[in-house]
Structure 1
Amino acid sequence: MIRRLLGPGRGLAWGCGVAAVAMGAAARTTIAQWPQWGGPNRDFKADCLGLASGWPQEGPRRVWSRELGEGYSAISVDDGALYTMYRRGDEEVVICLDAGTGKTLWEYAYSHSAPTKSMKEFGPGPHSTPLVAGDQVYAVGVTGLVHCLNKKSGQLAWSHDLVKEFGHEVMDRGYSASPIAYKDTVILPVGGTEHAVVAFKQADGSVAWKSQDFQCSHASPILIRLDGQDQLVCFMTKEIAGLNPADGALLWTHTHPTQWGANISTPVWGQGNLLFMSSAYDQGSRVIQLSRNGDKTQVQELWYARKLRIHHGNAVRVGDYVYGSSGDFGPALLMAVDVRTGKVAWRERGFAKANLVYGDGKLIILDEGGRLALATATPDKLEVHAKVELLKRNAWTVPTLAGTRLYVRDRKTIQALDLS
């Protein structure tokens, strides 16, 4: 049975029969969570055990594979279901799939204006990754259309248009930041005067607060806890900033400009109150150390270096080292950098620009050419245990690791792999 949902978009809910329901229930008991961009803590690390130390020549076991439309949106996992976005003709689509089988559970589609020239050249998106919080899923399209949907049915709860309501200027490649939840709100960078960042009430979509005067970048915000205080870290076009997530009050800023304001990679927070950020486009990497003195947050830059320049991939911190793929429009190098000093521990060729996820002491690497690898990364070396040519170029979507299940996609397909 197909049930159509009315409103500015439309949803499809598929009845899959008793066997599929049973399979979905089994999946929910074995598949861990990855409910947002970057995983549970937005650090691209999974708390999992049981990953194999190698793969056969043909790669890890493929649980399922299916076609999916255009897009770079990553895959969120919650309660046995997957959530991502893709483009279908003149529509953007939020899709929910059964994690165990890949079958469509529901879709919510809405009309979307023609993409820009750059979107056509590199792919029209969507880029943002859905957030699952409570009973709802929050998704943002390339032109800043925000939809809050029931995660079980796809029924629309509320929506916003960031362009019409807040004057958001659509960037050349489209909106890319992924929403983040804080208590009873969902927060998005928007850009502009007095509404650079906006928090919406999860229950009804009303504006909880809006503040600041920054221009919007492609980077997704993160939440950190500094000496007992929650802070929202936003990587904007010319600076990185810390806000109070409860009311949007500015706590601190630190400059980090790039050509065209292209700050894309997600900042990395870790032990020692160290915040790592990296950009391409004639920039580099820097680490700042945050501390609190009474009600004030103090910022000290520990180092800046141009050797590591992360373009649109991500970085992972393990211990005192950050691992990332450096390179913008030239050769790429996988690198290890001491987060305390900026000293490069090693550089490795052999991969195109890549995204990384970490779990069970292992680094999973997916480069833009579609090569998937399993490795162990230490301050001394990168040891690659297995490689396989898996996806088609451009495989720019960061993988999702939930338990021993890895979910990957390119611009045509989505797959589930068993890494146990």
Structure 2
Amino acid sequence: MFGFDELKLVFHPSENRRQPRPTTLFLMKTTKFISAISLAAIFAWQNLPAQAPARNHTSHDWPQWRGPQRDGKSLETGLLKTWPQEGPKVVWRSPLGEGYSGIAIANGLAYTMYDEGNDEYLACFDAKTGKRQWRVRTDRKFRNSWGNGPRVTPLVEGEMVYTLSAHAKLYARNAKSGAPVWQHDLVTKLNDEPPDLGYSNSPIIEGDLLLVTGLGSANRSLVAFNKNTGELVWSSHHDHPGYSSPIVVTALGLRQAVFFTGTEIASVSPDDGKIFWRHSWRTDSYENVATPVFIFPDKLFFSSAHPKDAGAAVLQMKIDNGAAGVTPVWKSNVMQHHFSSSVVHENFLYGTDRYILKCVDSRTGEQKWQQRGFGEGSLIFVDGHLLVLGTSGNLALVEATPAAYLERARAQVLNGKCYTAPALAHGRLYLRNESEIMCIALNANN
């Protein structure tokens, strides 16, 4: 993808030119008209989301953390705008264990991770029926006072599924059978320890590379493996690990992998790990958890709870004298994400400021509205609306508008602790808590 600065329009002086014949004039006008359409198409294409799509999947799958474009936004339409009094239809439920791993849906299968007994598992379910297809042990149980179990959301591409355990064991397995392809223990591979609250950083694929947050060793904080063989291709950066998952964006003519680590934000080349820019961001206990949000064409939104400075900021990427960098557009405490991430729609951010759902203008940081009742809940965007899941299992359909909080439907769908973000695929919403996974029909065809 290219930027406007890569389009060079050359105009020649018209003095002393012979006037064209009518036929020539018609052809010139027609050519200009077609050129205008072509240029408009280029500009329209330029305004498409620039984040790395999950490849080899239909637009209606949800094959990785935060969905097809890794931005918390579904590509689907036809969402039910009203629900029955008892709530939308439950298609299936299946027992599960502890953990906060998200749900990835691809090629008719749903994947997540959980604990059972003293062990941790990666499991695959039939997305239509909920019947478990297979499960494989990935590690021993992770125990922590803030919550037990795995944190990473599996990533599905083609015939492979990738994930990491809470103790930082990295796996590549066959997506249909669960058979092992390759694996690494990052503790051994990188000679370091996982963060205190458990490894939580969901990987991302860029080309033939699987980009993974490292464990903080010198020049090993960010790493890339060949997705097919598991060979270490590059390593880069030095910082304490955080808990956020990376994104890949195109801005300023640069393809950039953006990592939110323990004390800063780092942009690197996904090809070789070369650092483009760094920006300091300090919180208590390295708790940078929420995933960055790309705001087209050149801005990024970050947010954390327990900040040393401001809890939220929009940074604008720039190039000065050939060097890439960032400058703050605004920063404030208007939005402090603990573990959930925001979505952006038409320049407005929607997310939870600790225990309050908010809408914030990404251009200014101005709060447009707020609503309580979801705890530190999570949300996704679909068909002009927000699907908001509260931490106590209450689900709401909210119009994505800065005008006011406009709730269209509400239902109690789960009980207990619900810290995992929803996933939507083929008109069905997939949710989980610490004891079950469920599927809800949200499209009239389902």
> Could you state the TM-score of these two structures normalised by the residue count of structure 2?
0.84
CA distance in structure 2 between the aligned counterparts of 1:181 and 1:381, rounded to whole angstroms: 37
Pairs aligned (count): 384
Q: Tell me, yes or no, if structure 1 residue 177 matches structure 2 residue 201.
A: yes
Distance in 1 of aligned mates of 2:59 and 2:270: 31
Structure 1 residues 199-245: Cα deviation after superposition (integer angstroms, max 9, x where no partner): 01111101010111111100000001013321000001111110000
CA change 1:160–1:150 in 2 (3 A) is same
Q: Quick one: distance in 2 between partners of 1:76 and 1:245?
A: 23
One of 279, 297, 305 as aligned partner of 2:332:
305
**Pair 220,31 (structure 1): closer, same or farther in 2 beyond 3 Å:** closer
| Matched residue, 2:242 | 217
- Residue aligning to 1:320: 347
Question: Where has structure 1 moved over 3 Å in runs of 4 or more?
Answer: 292-295
For the structure 1 residues 208 and 295, does the alpha-carbon distance in structure 2 shift closer, same or farther, using more than 3 Å as the test? farther
What amino acid is aligned across from residue 377 of structure 2 in structure 1?
A
CA drift of 1:354 comes to 1.0
Equivalent residue number for residue 226 of structure 1: 251
Candidates 162, 175, 191, aligned match of 1:167: 191
Please say if residues 139 and 169 of structure 2, whose CA atoms lie closer than 8 Å, have aligned partners that are also in contact: no
* C-alpha displacement of 1:295: 4.3
Structure with the bigger percentage of strand: 1
Cross-structure match for 2:87: 59
Structure 2 residue 392 is the aligned partner of structure 1 residue 365: no
Segment drifting more, 295-304 vs 353-362: 295-304
* SS state at 1:223 partner: strand
What residue in structure 2 maps to residue 397 of structure 1? 420
User: What corresponds to 2:312 in structure 1?
Assistant: 285
Match among 122, 127, 137 for residue 99 of structure 1:
127
Partner AA of 1:169 in structure 2: E
Q: SS in structure 1 opposite 2:201? A: coil
Q: Structure 2: state its 5+ residue gaps.
A: 1-56
2:406 pairs with one of 383, 392, 395: 383
8 Å Cα contact 1:31/1:403 also seen in 2: no
Match of 2:68 in 1: 40
Measured in 2, the distance between the counterparts of 1:399 and 1:252 equals: 32
Alignment partner, residue 83 of structure 1? 111
Change in Cα spacing, 1:295 to 1:135, as seen in structure 2 (3 Å) is farther
- Length-normalised TM-score, structure 1: 0.89
Find out whether 1:108 has 2:136 as its counterpart.
Answer: yes
1:417 aligns with 2:440: yes
C-alpha displacement of 1:296: 2.2
Are positions 1:336 and 2:359 aligned together?
yes
Larger Rg: 2
State how far apart, in whole Å, the 2-side matches of 1:115 and 1:64 are.
Answer: 28
**C-alpha distance in 2, partners of 1:254/1:229?**
17
Is the contact between residue 31 and residue 405 of structure 1 (CA under 8 Å) also seen in structure 2?
A: no
For residues 133 and 392 of structure 1, the distance between their equivalents in structure 2, rounded to whole angstroms, comes to 32
Measured against aligned partners, the alpha-carbon deviations of 1:337-370 in whole angstroms (never above 9, x if no partner) come to 1111111111112321110101111100001111
Say if 1:75 and 1:82, in contact at 8 Å, map to a contact too: yes
Q: Is the 8 A contact 2:159 2:174 kept in 1?
A: yes
In the alignment, the residues of structure 1 paired with residue 205 and residue 327 of structure 2 have an alpha-carbon distance, to the nearest angstrom, of: 28
Contact 2:94 2:438 in 1 (8 A): yes
Which among 269, 274, 297 is matched to residue 249 of structure 1?
274
Deviations 1:2-40 (A, max 9, x none): xxxxxxxxxxxxxxxxxxxxxxxxxxx999211100101
Distance 1:168 1:407 in 2: 35
Deviation sequence 1:95-131 (CA, Å, 0-9, x none): 111100011111111441x534xx1x33322000011
Question: Is the contact made by 1:95 and 1:107 (CA closer than 8 Å) also made in structure 2?
Answer: yes
The residue type equivalent to 2:171 in the other structure is H
Unaligned runs of 5+ in 1: 1-28
